Structure 1
Amino acid sequence: MKRLIHFPINEVLPIGGPAGYLSNLKRGLDEIGAHEYEFLPAEGVHFKKNKTLRRVVPKRLKDLRRLYKCINLPQVSKPAPVDYTQYRSIHFHSTLDLYTYRNALEAYKGNVILTSHSPCAAHKELLDSLDLHDVQRHAQELKRLAIIDEYAFKRADTIIFPCAEAEEPYFHTWNEYAQIRDSSKIRYLPTGICSPVIRESRSVIRKRYGIPDEAFLMCYIGRHNSIKGYDALVQATVPLLKKNNNYWMLVAGKEGPLYRPNQQHWVEAGWTNDPYSIIAAADVFILPNRETYFDLI
């Protein structure tokens, strides 16, 4: 019987998060000829991945859309995208995915595997993506999001972390984790990555973003939220940019829920599939995470 990696094949890309993890995993599986593994069929482009549509929609409407989606997530249930019974194991790469297909899994007898990838309890990350005032106004409704993580960790037969330290954010951000955690389910499997390749030179990257060759360039790549320390990054580095005209900050990753400061030498490159070239163009890389799952950066 085959094994299913529960992730759309067209979203397996050399970027951050589950997509990047699985891009490296797929390459490794292909190299050793592990043909018993399959991914989900390709999916269409979602709103969150449609850059053109997202640019024209006002920020407040996007905030309300995220709020409405989060409030309704506990009710969402989808049919299996493929016939689960043909697989001896199904490996989910988010607690939300496992929860969303909970009804389809009721009759499934194989091994349900979970790797969460989230730098904290996933429902906390969902809350962090919302407007703070919306969270305060809808606190009671949003409390129910915790059942997503609770169900996923209880339903999974095997839970994979890259190392013991990757569990720390769950203990720190989710009071119930210690009671829900079942040590007999947990396996530690180090993450493998391909050797980094620098595609473009230092001078090319700097020229693209209008940064002088002689500038002292600081760099950050990652999510723009508080758990990844984006706010701390702004607080620490903006005074340096103001103090020294030769200092620059180059940031990659999708903006939101936190956004760039109003500072001339702060450059946002947006989403990138070539983080190595950006890092190589900098003089120093800054990692301001408050919590992290297992940061490959």
Structure 2
Amino acid sequence: MKKVLIWDLNYVLKNSGGPAGYLYNIREYLLKHPTKDAEIHFLKDDLGISNVDRSVNTNHKDLMKKIHKLDILSLMGYFRTFRCLMYWNKKLSAKSISGINLNDFDAIHFHNSGDLYRASELLRSYEGKIILTTHSPQPKACEDVENIVYKWSVLRRLIKKQILKKELQGWEKADYIMFPVQGALEPYYVEKEIKDYKDCNTDKFIYCESSILDKPISKPLDREELGIDSSKYLICYLGRHNEIKGYDQLKLFAEHILSKDSRFEFVIAGNEEPLTRLDHPNWKELGWINYGNRLVSSSDIFILPNKETYFDLVTLEVMREGIPILMSRTGGNKFFERYGEEYGIFLYNYGDIKDQEAQFNKMIYELENGILKVKAKKLRNLFIEHFTMEHYISRYIETVKNIC
């Protein structure tokens, strides 16, 4: 029986996106359904460290939002720069994993190239296989620099170059780099060094489609409580408000559609930063919410407008609710083109509003004629048959067996 160590030292696992949500789904499933085909350990569990989500007091959240809006962006930028550089330049010591013998495991699975780079000294005598999954919708160097330094800063290129070098050293340390699908690699090709590395190390790259926990379809919200006219079609977006997620393009599309037809209500969830709302009465911002599944379940159409994407877990959450999806044809989204309109998944070319409008109108026609409702049921069944954790664990264990 193969033993795998999931390196989750830097995460508080919670039901969200990114590596924290990805690992949360795996851990929660295995706690209830231990597998007999492999031993999958989480490092924090083995170290006796709590893996519970540390929720923030609501009052503190409100205070943080107010502070964020103050004109202290330069100071915050320098602070984030310092914090990021501290992370990348601080190697982990043996003390951080005291009592753990890494050679007890056939494979160690890292979920951040920075974590692997920082643990490289601890892995010098490790004899098993090292797996890396990156999760981010772009190279970590690009993501970190975007968050910590303004685009006009002279530091930007210098810091990005330093982080990219260390990021690739993490990739070099890995025996295998696991992506959910091949399309998830596309956003990484913006950096020539990564494209060249992939071309020279094709055999290192393996693929294992992501999954999430199965749950019953959520109870829809009362639209009147949200202040939404029940006679309107509810178009939903749930996620970050930035360019990578396509929030800016979503606003352009909504403005275009609403200039012609007022039957639609765009209901948006997620912290309203750094980009802000469309100024239109049919555009409603809910902010951060803890009832995302119910909002999705209440929707007629979910829009996923990514400019770049890895393998967005929100896609699986929407499939679980059986809600038709209008998504951009980018990165990991391209994987779902194999299912396509038959299952209520409509794809358009990112930035092409005419193409997006054509697909949207097709969905509205099918919605009005009861066709989309039938497809929505097929979408829910597709999730159950392929994207639940039961199927993922089976795929994952088979992958580990093949490489160890």
Deviations 1:113-150 (A, max 9, x none): 11111112122122333453454554323331212321
**The one of 173, 179, 190 aligned to 2:196:** 179
Counterpart residue number, 2:41: 38
Counterpart residue number, 1:129: 147
- Counterparts of 1:131 and 1:207, CA distance in 2: 42
- Secondary structure of the residue aligned to 1:125 is helix
Counterpart residue number, 2:297: 280
So what's the TM-score if we normalise by structure 2? 0.63
- Secondary structure of the residue aligned to 1:36 is strand
| Residue type at the aligned position of 1:111 | K
**The one of 237, 243, 259 aligned to 1:220:** 237
- Counterparts of 1:286 and 1:29, CA distance in 2: 31
**The one of 213, 216, 222 aligned to 1:194:** 213
Counterpart residue number, 2:186: 168
Contact conserved, 1:224 with 1:258, CA < 8 A, in 2? yes
- Secondary structure of the residue aligned to 1:187 is strand
**The one of 65, 87, 102 aligned to 2:79:** 65
The 3 A distance-change label for structure 1 pair 256 and 8 is farther
The 3 A distance-change label for structure 1 pair 123 and 283 is same
Alignment size in residue pairs: 293
Counterpart residue number, 1:292: 309
Q: CA deviation at 1:68?
A: 2.9
| Residue type at the aligned position of 1:6 | W
- Counterparts of 2:79 and 2:231, CA distance in 1: 44
Deviations 1:69-122 (A, max 9, x none): 334443232335324524412211111222233333334333221111111212
The 3 A distance-change label for structure 1 pair 51 and 152 is farther
So what's the TM-score if we normalise by structure 1? 0.83
Give the number of the structure with larger relative contact order, counting CA–CA contacts within 8 Å between residues 6 or more apart: 1
**The one of 281, 284, 301 aligned to 1:267:** 284
Gaps of 5+ in 2: 316-404
- Secondary structure of the residue aligned to 1:42 is coil
The 3 A distance-change label for structure 1 pair 67 and 207 is farther
- Counterparts of 1:222 and 1:168, CA distance in 2: 21
Deviations 1:251-281 (A, max 9, x none): 2234433333444443333344543321222
Gaps of 5+ in 1: none
Counterpart residue number, 2:134: 116
Counterpart residue number, 1:155: 173
> Alignment identity in percent?
32
Counterpart residue number, 1:18: 19
| Residue type at the aligned position of 2:108 | I
Counterpart residue number, 1:4: 5
Cα RMSD (Å): 3.2
Counterpart residue number, 2:275: 258
Contact conserved, 1:91 with 1:114, CA < 8 A, in 2? yes
**The one of 101, 108, 118 aligned to 1:90:** 108
- Counterparts of 2:11 and 2:116, CA distance in 1: 19
Which one has a bigger Cα radius of gyration?
2
Farther off after superposition, 210-219 or 126-135? 126-135
Kindly indicate whether residue 113 of structure 2 is the aligned counterpart of residue 101 of structure 1. no
Contact conserved, 1:131 with 1:257, CA < 8 A, in 2? no
The 3 A distance-change label for structure 1 pair 46 and 177 is farther
Structure number with higher helix proportion = 2
Contact conserved, 1:74 with 1:144, CA < 8 A, in 2? no
- Secondary structure of the residue aligned to 1:129 is helix
| Residue type at the aligned position of 2:218 | R
**The one of 230, 250, 254 aligned to 1:233:** 250
The 3 A distance-change label for structure 1 pair 108 and 14 is same
The 3 A distance-change label for structure 1 pair 114 and 228 is same
Contact conserved, 2:250 with 2:305, CA < 8 A, in 1? yes
